């Protein structure tokens, strides 16, 4: 469980998080590549804070993914719960026929997806004390 | 606690002078009065109402929520407590129901929103709301409001419309065609009632991942509750309201919360094959610590009740699969036998693993079907709502728009198609 | 109308010979050969076997990609409406070949293909998802029932465009989830199921959980400096010439070879017997699969005490789980007896 001595790292391909989340590791590519990157960290002792399959979007729909990792002194071997969840997520995304990459959709839809990705992780980011800003998404977005 | 549902059977809906039940099960609705009742809600630029009946060549999209018109009869409590009613407890006395009618809200909260209700054709076979006479509200927001405000406005508008219809019809003298009585005794009596019958409870998982994925209990955001007991009758009075807008096929609309079929089925067998003790609500948060807390707490409640068996229903897929499996393992570990209700995401060919998590303890599972299955929806004459989603499909998002106007989509786009409360006959088997 | 069918069989059913002729390359013959006669009878007026393509099982296993391409080319010449392969009964390599050919036919030629196998044939696990496999008996004695079933399924697919359910079509479950409408709604089915479960009566889950054969991880080594380490591979690394003739696929045995004093896998000119991956890199430097060089270095550096004097090897390609379990149990017992503390398992 998270303790105050924990160190956090947030792996994401959601550019809207820039400047709003501390310890952000922004990466390019698909949600799958974010999961793979997080998986690699899990193998060296990082734990995941939230289920990587958050949000009721099929993997072939949502191009964004944000995974918050944390570790404490002495964490060296993989945490089995984290590993199981990240491997399950990896399988679900690998099974998807389509892999979405940021930038494929019209700008307004992309913005909605980034916003949803953010708000679904918002509580978790807050709980772990890495949130330093908020996002807004308003109606009348076609002009966005 | 005892609740009587006074059900007037609605076989048709028409616009007319005064909102009232006419002979032959015709619900007549005064459109201006309906819109006036709804218009008290702020943040709308425009709101319009249309009727969609079973069998008509009508497509409603994107559907946000579906609500059954209900109101309390001569009672101080109000339906949808904490949402539009007061927060006093519900679930006893009498509730008037316009059975066979539904309010459907259409709101394009985000650009990629699904939620198709076809009143005829192939799609109609899969959505339960092709069988109801629907009053559809199409809700256009003011520009520049936060989208969670828009979601809330749509949610409240639908609830208000449902209460308005039931109240106005009742005041105009509508009579019940049928009365159903639901009653469970206090725990003190329940524990010694029906000796020899196994004690059974229902673990009711609510979608609570965040914006557009929320559920409300007495107006409280479900992700902030600790699992708790709820009387099954409270759900019939709208104690649980949906704020869930994504994954049309397996979101539990307010209508299915009001008519929870698991609760109905447990009542049906109560005193015959089982001793139905009560309902535990829990959530489906994303943070792992919250998951463990809710799972441990809800199974502890089941243990405190001393039940032998538990029906566990899920809402959504992916993240909640982990909660479902965790709940199952914890219950089975302490000797409580479980049956799970879920749906599947096994890929378009049905060849992928259906759930994101699995356990050998989960040996009794009921499925609402594979949501990735492709279906072809014929072109229909009229579309109520916004065609954006269809345009998105045309853009190759999630299916395809064919030259003849038919659309090929995954079952997931169809509202309520694979309902994980077990609302439908749809299931799946292995070929 | 009469459909045109091509039949794929191995060297044995073609009457060319047994294991000694397993290395024959693909060939094509017009009309029926061997069991094709039985199919001819079963099809009657509905379909005609226009040609038969034959390949030795050994040849196929050792040259899978090339053989498949050759066979496809031969099949395509006949302009057939469908392909039948086998039945292979319980023959592992033949089953794998039938499955590979059937899958390739469907994918590359876009026509249906049907095969037949015994339920425990390793080809079943490999191809049940993509190919219709009629369930047969475990030996050629079952040909009398296998042929009419395969013929019927082939005709059903050609005529109706669908094979129906596994029961209707007589094929082995493909593991595909297919939607259906039940008599009762889900909630009633759930409560019915719970009542049966509570009463201890038999009930049937609607979604069988995937079968995980999980093994609890062993305790970590506490004293690595004094540990004896062994290496075991399913990557098929064998001494040159493959003295024990471990099969390229569907292995029926494993080999035990001494590495006492061996400093690098290259020294003994090991090569891979594995038929399921591109062997170029393994053959170029077998340490890539059997890392003796690195292990010796660590041994010298004192990171662990001793590299065990033997390595065990088999081919994981299409090897039935039951056979793999048997190998594993035997190897494990031997390692334990010889005081090995830990084992490194390499695959491909």
d(C-alpha B29, C-alpha C138), whole Å: 70
Q: Which residues of chain C does CATH 3.40.50.2300 include?
A: 3-169
The CA-atom distances, in angstroms, between B53 and each of B167, B374, C17 are 21, 25, 71
d(C-alpha B313, C-alpha B324), whole Å: 8
Q: Identify whether the C-beta of residue C264 lies closer than 8 Å to the C-beta of residue C281.
A: no
Collapse the DSSP code of B254 into the 3-class scheme (helix H, G, I; strand E, B; otherwise coil) and give the result: helix
How close is the nearest chain B Cα to the Cα of A144, in Å? 11
Strands of the sheet with B117-118, listed across from one edge = B117-118, B58-61, B382-385
Q: How many domains is chain A partitioned into structurally? A: 1
Q: Identify whether the C-beta of residue C317 lies closer than 8 Å to the C-beta of residue C275.
A: yes
Q: Which residue in the set A2, A124, A136 is minimally distant from B286, CB to CB?
A: A124
B108 lies within 8 A of chain A by CB: no
Has residue A55 been placed in a domain?
yes
Cβ pair B342:C183 closer than 8 A:
no
Nearest CA in chain C to B411: C179
pTM exceeds 0.80: yes
A 10 A CB-CB count for B340 gives: 30
Strands of the sheet with B12-15, listed across from one edge = B12-15, B26-29, B20-22
Q: Which token pair is B302?
A: 């089941």
Q: Which residue in the set B145, B207, B397 is minimally distant from A139, CB to CB?
A: B145
Q: Which residue in the set B308, B349, B426 is minimally distant from C179, CB to CB?
A: B426
Has residue A95 been placed in a domain?
yes
B152 lies within 8 A of chain C by CB: no
Q: Please give the full DSSP string across B306-338, using - where no structure is assigned.
A: T-SEEEEE--SSSHHHHHHHHHHHHHHHTT-EE
C194 lies within 8 A of chain B by CB: yes
Tell me the angle at which helices B319-333 and B288-305 cross, rounded to the nearest 10 degrees: 40
Cβ pair B318:A106 closer than 8 A:
no
C198 lies within 8 A of chain B by CB: yes
According to the model, what pLDDT value does residue C1 have?
63
The CA-atom distances, in angstroms, between C232 and each of A28, A48, B83, C309, C330 are 39, 33, 65, 12, 12
Has residue A28 been placed in a domain?
yes
Whether a cis peptide bond, with omega within 30° of 0, leads into C177 is no
d(C-alpha C265, C-alpha C263), whole Å: 7
Q: Identify whether the C-beta of residue B343 lies closer than 8 Å to the C-beta of residue B317.
A: yes
Positive or negative, the CA dihedral C16, C19, C25, C27 is: positive
- What residues of B are in contact with residue C199 (Cβ under 8 Å)? 198
What distance separates the 2 farthest-apart alpha carbons in chain B? 65
Annotated catalytic residue within B71, B106, B154, B245? B245
How close is the nearest chain B Cα to the Cα of A9, in Å? 15
Q: Provide the chain B residues 219-278 that lie in CB contact (below 8 A) with chain A.
A: 223, 244, 246-247, 250-251
Q: Identify whether the C-beta of residue B402 lies closer than 8 Å to the C-beta of residue B375.
A: no
Cβ pair A105:B112 closer than 8 A:
yes
Q: Identify whether the C-beta of residue C175 lies closer than 8 Å to the C-beta of residue C129.
A: yes
Q: Which token pair is B82?
A: 């904490």
Helix%, strand%, coil% for chain C, nearest 5: 40, 20, 40
Residue ranges of E strands in chain C: 3-10, 27-30, 47-55, 82-85, 113-118, 132-136, 177-181, 228-233, 237-238, 255-258, 271-272, 306-313, 342-346
Has residue A2 been placed in a domain?
no
According to the model, what pLDDT value does residue C141 have?
94
Q: Identify whether the C-beta of residue B383 lies closer than 8 Å to the C-beta of residue B408.
A: no
Q: C334 burial class (0-12, 13-18, 19+ CB within 10 angstroms)?
A: middle
| Interface with chain A: mutation pick from B148, B210, B243, B354, highest number of A CBs within 10 Å | B210
Cβ pair A139:B142 closer than 8 A:
yes
Q: Which token pair is B191?
A: 């524990």
A125 lies within 8 A of chain B by CB: no
Dihedral angle computed from the Cα positions of residues B233, B235, B236 and B240, in that order, rounded to the nearest 10 degrees: 160
Residue B33 makes CB contacts below 8 A (sequence gap 6+) with B19, B164, B168
pLDDT in tens, chain B (431 residues): 999 999 999 999 999 999 999 999 999 999 999 999 998 767 888 999 999 999 999 999 999 999 999 999 987 889 999 999 899 999 999 999 999 999 999 988 887 788 999 999 999 999 999 999 999 999 998 888 888 899 999 999 999 999 999 999 999 999 999 999 999 999 999 999 999 999 999 999 999 998 889 999 999 999 999 999 999 999 999 999 999 988 899 999 999 999 999 999 999 999 999 999 999 999 999 999 999 999 999 999 999 999 999 999 999 999 999 999 999 999 999 999 999 999 999 998 898 899 999 999 999 999 999 999 999 999 999 999 987 777 676 655 666 778 888 889 999 999 999 999 999 999 999 99
Cβ pair C209:B350 closer than 8 A:
no
Counting as contact any 3 or more CB pairs under 8 A, the partners of C are: B
Residue A144 has pLDDT above 50, yes or no: no
Q: Identify whether the C-beta of residue B61 lies closer than 8 Å to the C-beta of residue B398.
A: no
Phi and psi, residue B79, nearest 5°: -70, 165
d(C-alpha C316, C-alpha C276), whole Å: 8
Question: In which domain, by residue range, is A62 found?
Answer: 7-143
User: Which band of pLDDT confidence, cut at 50, 70 and 90, is reported for residue A134?
Assistant: confident
Architecture of domain C3-169: 3-Layer(aba) Sandwich (3.40)
Eight-state DSSP code of residue B99: E
Q: Which residue in the set A53, A108, A137 is minimally distant from B356, CB to CB?
A: A53
The CA-atom distances, in angstroms, between A34 and each of A65, A131, B43, C206 are 7, 19, 37, 34
A124 lies within 8 A of chain B by CB: yes
Q: Identify whether the C-beta of residue B50 lies closer than 8 Å to the C-beta of residue B101.
A: no
Q: Identify whether the C-beta of residue B418 lies closer than 8 Å to the C-beta of residue B368.
A: yes
The CA-atom distances, in angstroms, between B23 and each of B11, B103, C294 are 10, 21, 89
Cβ pair A112:B111 closer than 8 A:
yes
Mapping DSSP onto H, E and C, the string for C91-121 reads CHHHHHHHHHHHHHHHHHHCCCEEEEEECCC
* pLDDT block averages, 10 residues each, chain C of length 348: 93 95 96 96 96 96 92 96 96 94 96 96 90 95 96 96 91 94 98 98 95 77 94 91 84 90 84 80 90 95 96 84 83 94 91
Closest CA to A110 of B395, B94, B70: B395
B71 classed as catalytic? no
Q: Which token pair is B350?
A: 């049905």
Residue A4 has pLDDT above 70, yes or no: no
Eight-state DSSP code of residue B179: E
According to the model, what pLDDT value does residue A7 have?
93
Phi and psi, residue C335, nearest 5°: -65, -40
Dihedral angle computed from the Cα positions of residues B82, B85, B88 and B90, in that order, rounded to the nearest 10 degrees: -100
């Amino acid at each position: 469980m998270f303790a105050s001595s924990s160190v956090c790292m947030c792996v994401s391909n959601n550019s809207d998080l820039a400047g709003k989340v501390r310890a952000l590791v922004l990466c390019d590519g698909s949600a799958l590549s974010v999961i793979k990157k997080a998986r690699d960290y899990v193998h060296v002792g990082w734990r995941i804070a939230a289920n990587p399959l958050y949000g009721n979007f099929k993997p072939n729909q949502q191009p964004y993914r944000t995974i918050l990792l944390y570790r404490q002194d002495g964490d060296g071997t993989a945490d089995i719960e984290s590993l199981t969840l990240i491997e399950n997520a990896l399988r679900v995304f690998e099974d998807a026929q389509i892999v979405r990459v940021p930038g494929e959709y019209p700008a307004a839809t992309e913005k909605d997806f980034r916003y949803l990705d953010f708000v679904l992780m918002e509580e978790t980011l807050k709980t772990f004390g890495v949130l330093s800003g908020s996002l807004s998404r308003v109606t009348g977005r076609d002009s966005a | 606690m005892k609740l009587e549902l006074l059900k007037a059977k609605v076989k048709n809906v028409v616009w007319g002078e005064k909102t009232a039940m006419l002979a032959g099960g015709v619900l007549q609705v005064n459109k201006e009065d309906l819109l006036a009742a709804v218009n008290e809600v702020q943040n709308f630029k425009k709101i319009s109402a249309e009727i969609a009946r079973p069998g008509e060549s009508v497509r409603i999209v994107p559907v946000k929520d579906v609500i059954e018109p209900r109101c309390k009869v001569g009672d101080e409590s109000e339906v949808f407590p904490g949402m539009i009613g007061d927060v006093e407890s519900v679930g006893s006395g009498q509730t008037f129901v316009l059975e066979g009618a539904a309010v459907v809200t259409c709101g394009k909260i985000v650009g990629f929103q699904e939620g198709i209700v076809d009143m005829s054709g192939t799609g109609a076979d899969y959505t339960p709301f092709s069988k109801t006479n629907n009053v559809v509200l199409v809700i256009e927001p003011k520009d520049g409001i936060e989208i969670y405000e828009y979601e809330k406005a749509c949610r409240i508008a639908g609830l208000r419309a449902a209460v308005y219809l039931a109240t106005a019809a009742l005041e105009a003298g509508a009579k019940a065609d049928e009365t159903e009585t639901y009653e469970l005794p206090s725990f003190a009596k329940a524990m010694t009632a029906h000796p020899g019958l196994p004690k059974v409870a229902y673990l009711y998982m609510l979608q609570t991942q965040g914006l557009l994925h929320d559920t409300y209990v007495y107006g409280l955001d479900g992700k902030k509750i600790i699992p708790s007991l709820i009387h099954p009758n409270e759900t019939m009075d709208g104690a649980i309201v949906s704020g869930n807008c994504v994954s049309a096929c397996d979101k539990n609309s307010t209508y299915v919360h009001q008519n929870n079929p698991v609760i109905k089925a447990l009542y049906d067998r109560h005193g015959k094959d089982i001793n139905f003790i009560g309902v535990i609500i829990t959530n489906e948060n994303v943070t792992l610590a919250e998951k463990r807390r809710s799972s441990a707490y809800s199974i502890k409640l089941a243990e405190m009740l001393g039940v032998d068996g538990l029906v566990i229903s899920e809402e959504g897929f992916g993240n909640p699969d982990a909660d479902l499996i965790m709940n199952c393992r914890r219950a089975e570990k302490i000797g409580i036998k479980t049956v799970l209700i879920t749906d599947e995401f096994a890929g378009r060919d049905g060849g992928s693993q259906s759930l994101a998590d699995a356990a050998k303890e989960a040996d009794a599972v009921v499925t609402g079907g594979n949501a990735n299955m492709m279906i072809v929806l014929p072109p229909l004459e009229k579309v109520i709502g916004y065609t954006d989603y269809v345009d998105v499909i045309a853009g190759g998002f999630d299916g395809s728009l064919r030259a003849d106007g038919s659309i090929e989509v995954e079952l997931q786009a169809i509202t309520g198609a694979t309902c994980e409360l077990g609302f439908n006959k749809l299931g799946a088997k292995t070929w | 109308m009469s459909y045109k069918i091509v039949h794929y069989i191995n060297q044995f059913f073609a009457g060319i010979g047994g294991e000694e002729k397993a290395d024959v390359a693909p060939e094509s013959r017009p009309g029926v050969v061997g069991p094709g006669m039985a199919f001819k009878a079963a099809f009657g007026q509905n379909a005609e076997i226009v040609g038969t393509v034959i390949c030795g099982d050994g040849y196929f296993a050792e040259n899978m990609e090339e053989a498949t391409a050759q066979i496809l080319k031969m099949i395509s010449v006949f302009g057939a409406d469908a392909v039948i392969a086998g039945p292979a009964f319980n023959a592992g390599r033949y089953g794998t070949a039938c499955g590979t050919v059937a899958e390739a036919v469907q994918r590359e030629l876009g026509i249906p293909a049907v095969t037949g196998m015994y339920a425990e044939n390793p080809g079943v696990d490999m191809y049940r998802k993509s190919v219709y496999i009629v369930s047969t008996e475990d030996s050629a004695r079952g040909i009398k029932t296998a042929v009419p079933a395969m013929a019927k399924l082939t005709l059903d697919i050609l005529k109706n465009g669908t094979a129906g359910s596994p029961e209707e079509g007589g094929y082995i479950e493909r593991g595909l989830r297919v939607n259906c409408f039940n008599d009762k709604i889900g909630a009633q089915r759930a409560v019915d199921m719970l009542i049966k479960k509570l009463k201890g009566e038999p009930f049937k889950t609607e979604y069988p959980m995937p079968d995980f054969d999980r093994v609890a991880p062993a305790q970590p080594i506490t004293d690595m400096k004094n540990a004896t380490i062994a290496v075991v591979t399913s990557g098929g690394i064998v001494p040159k010439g493959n003295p024990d003739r471990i099969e390229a696929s569907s292995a029926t045995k494993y080999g035990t070879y001494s590495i006492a004093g061996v400093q690098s896998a290259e020294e003994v000119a090991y090569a891979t017997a594995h038929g399921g991956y591109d062997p170029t890199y393994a053959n170029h430097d077998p340490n890539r699969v059997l890392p003796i060089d690195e292990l010796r270095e660590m041994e010298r550096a004192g990171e662990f005490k001793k590299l065990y004097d033997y390595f065990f090897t088999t081919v994981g390609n299409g090897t039935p789980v039951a056979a793999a379990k048997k190998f594993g149990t035997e190897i494990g017992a031997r390692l334990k007896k010889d005081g090995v503390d830990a084992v490194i398992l390499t695959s491909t």
